[in-house]
Amino acid sequence: MSIVLPMTLWILIAVMTAVAALSILVPMSRKRPPEDETVGQTADEAVYRQQLDEVEKDLERGLIDDEAANAARTEIARRLLAAHERAEKADAAPKASWPLRFGQIVAIAGLPLVALGVYLFIGSPDLPDQPLAARMSAPPQDQSVEMLVARVEKHLAENPQDGQGWDVLAPVYMRLNKPREAAGAYQHAIRLLGPSVRRMTDLGEALTVANDGIVSADARGAFEQAIKLDKTAVKPRFFIALALGQEGKKDEAIAAWQDLLKDADPRAAWVPVARQNLAALDGTVPPMAENLPGPNHEQMAAAADMSAADRNQMVAGMVGRLAERLNSQGGTPAEWARLIRAYTVLGKKDEAQAALQKASAAYAGDPAAMGQIAQIAGQLGLAAPEGMAPPMAENLPGPNREQMAAAADMNAADRNQMIAGMVGKLADRLNSEGGSPAEWSRLIRAYTVLGKKDEAQAAFKQASAAYADDPAALGQIKETAGQLGLKTE
């Protein structure tokens, strides 16, 4: 079918073009009939003659009197004579034939050339029609994720009591990054099928993601219910620990993390995140995972094993080098953010504030960069310098979102083809049309989450090439890559 359709299209296009060319060629080649000639030559005369008749009719009907009729006749007759003289004078000179040739060439060559040229430039001849009904009834393997979701949605709109349907749809929403809809679907599923550890946990996760990574009271309730069902479940405990940290209950959070890590498989994907959180709460280890060029997960793990003094020294040295470089050569907003964060972690609040001032001075004219810096400052509880925009809501998902991704990993649910297909489409589009830094970051993140480290690295390379001369965008992409533990240099 897919080959036949364009063929028909081209045939019809050819027919249309031929008809258009003929509409020019045929009248040009035809000898005009003589009566047409008279119409052209003496049309005015005919009009005036008819006007004379009209005067007679008006007179007959009594609409005008004799006198007016006579006056009208005289006037029309005068115009008739003038028109007649004009027609006499009209020349009947022989016509040259080259304009006709020109017209014929235009019809045969010029017209198709212009029409096809323009169409090939702006048209999409290979795209078939895609009426919604046909797309809806296509076999599932030919349909996009969105299409399948739409079908399920339609089904659920008609059968809202189908708990299995909601249960299937909810995780798909999560993957499509629609946490709010996912939470709604989980609530339906729980209402119809009853609570389970997985459903409660996933509901809590959806609520948390929808709430920008902050564990709300509702979400916490869901996690607690999940723990009630299974005390050993890792994922809800992870989130509870996170919630405690967010609430500022430092000691309880530390206890929760330690409890969680106690009998964890050290190779599990969430472990580094948990350790990082624990370290952050401890106040002695910098949360390096989200840094730019700098220690990766291994080094960070190593740092965690060092003694507190050694660690501080290592960090202080790194920070010093970074500060020197930024002061002398400048740097990306992400680098400044990293410096500010490092100072804060090291307890050097004044230095942090000073670095913030310098950074905001350096990016005074760049609202996007300012937003990024302001966000960091806000997170760290620093006073925002004057003129600095409040943190931008549309910034890339912060570290919390990252932890979410790691947490989602614990689920150990196998990734299905849906997500892979989506990522593939995104990659296609970005490769062919390009995209925003945020979209590139999403792709890199998606590859990482799918465990395709090489692809992620390649996408990072492409993105950096695309934004080579845009330091703000580059910084944003690098930040993402750094957070994901990719090589960023």
Residues between 142 and 181 that touch another protein (CB under 8 A)? 144, 146-147, 149-150
Nearer Cβ to another protein (98/159): 98
279 near another protein (CB under 8 A) = no
23 near another protein (CB under 8 A) = yes
Q: What's the distance, Cα to Cα, between the start and end of the chain in Å?
A: 48
458 near another protein (CB under 8 A) = no
User: What is the CA angle 74-80-84, rounded to 5?
Assistant: 145
Q: Which of residues 253-272 bind another protein (CB under 8 A)?
A: none
Choose, by CB under 8 A, the member of 3, 34, 89, 132 that binds another protein. Answer: 132
Nearer Cβ to another protein (6/320): 6
C-alpha pair distances (Å), 423 with each of 331, 430, 449: 32, 10, 11
77 near another protein (CB under 8 A) = no
Rounded to an integer, what distance in angstroms lies between the CA atom of residue 98 and that of residue 331?
70
Nearer Cβ to another protein (72/314): 72
Answer for the pair 33, 54: CB distance below 8 angstroms, yes or no.
no
C-alpha pair distances (Å), 383 with each of 160, 286, 337, 379: 50, 21, 14, 10
Choose, by CB under 8 A, the member of 81, 101, 105, 123 that binds another protein. Answer: 123
Q: Of 297, 380, 312, which is closest to residue 346 (Cα–Cα)? A: 312
307 near another protein (CB under 8 A) = no
13 near another protein (CB under 8 A) = yes
Rounded to an integer, what distance in angstroms lies between the CA atom of residue 84 and that of residue 76?
12
Taking the CA atoms of residue 114, residue 117, residue 121 and residue 122 in that order, the dihedral angle to the nearest 10 degrees is: 50
Choose, by CB under 8 A, the member of 77, 105, 108, 125 that binds another protein. Answer: 125
229 near another protein (CB under 8 A) = no
DSSP for 376-404 reads HHHHHTPPPPTTPPPPPTTSPP-HHHHHH
Choose, by CB under 8 A, the member of 84, 110, 246, 284 that binds another protein. Answer: 110
Q: Of 468, 466, 470, 463, which is closest to residue 484 (Cα–Cα)? A: 463
Q: Which stretch binds another protein (CB under 8 A): 105-113, 247-255, 305-313, 448-456?
A: 105-113
131 near another protein (CB under 8 A) = yes
Shortest spacing between CB 64 and another protein, in angstroms: 4
30 near another protein (CB under 8 A) = yes
User: What is the CA angle 328-331-334, rounded to 5?
Assistant: 145
Shortest spacing between CB 422 and another protein, in angstroms: 11
- How many chain residues bind another protein (CB under 8 A)? 82
Shortest spacing between CB 253 and another protein, in angstroms: 40
Nearer Cβ to another protein (268/422): 422
Nearer Cβ to another protein (118/383): 118
48 near another protein (CB under 8 A) = yes
85 near another protein (CB under 8 A) = no
128 near another protein (CB under 8 A) = yes
119 near another protein (CB under 8 A) = yes
User: What is the CA angle 350-355-356, rounded to 5?
Assistant: 95
* Sign of the C-alpha dihedral computed for residues 37, 41, 42 and 47 taken in this order: positive
422 near another protein (CB under 8 A) = no
3 near another protein (CB under 8 A) = no
Q: Which stretch binds another protein (CB under 8 A): 97-105, 339-347, 351-359, 403-411?
A: 97-105
DSSP for 185-232 reads HHHHHHHHH---HHHHHHHHHHHHHHTTT---HHHHHHHHHHHHH-TT
CA 406 to chain centre: 24
Nearer Cβ to another protein (135/358): 135
Answer for the pair 246, 422: CB distance below 8 angstroms, yes or no.
no
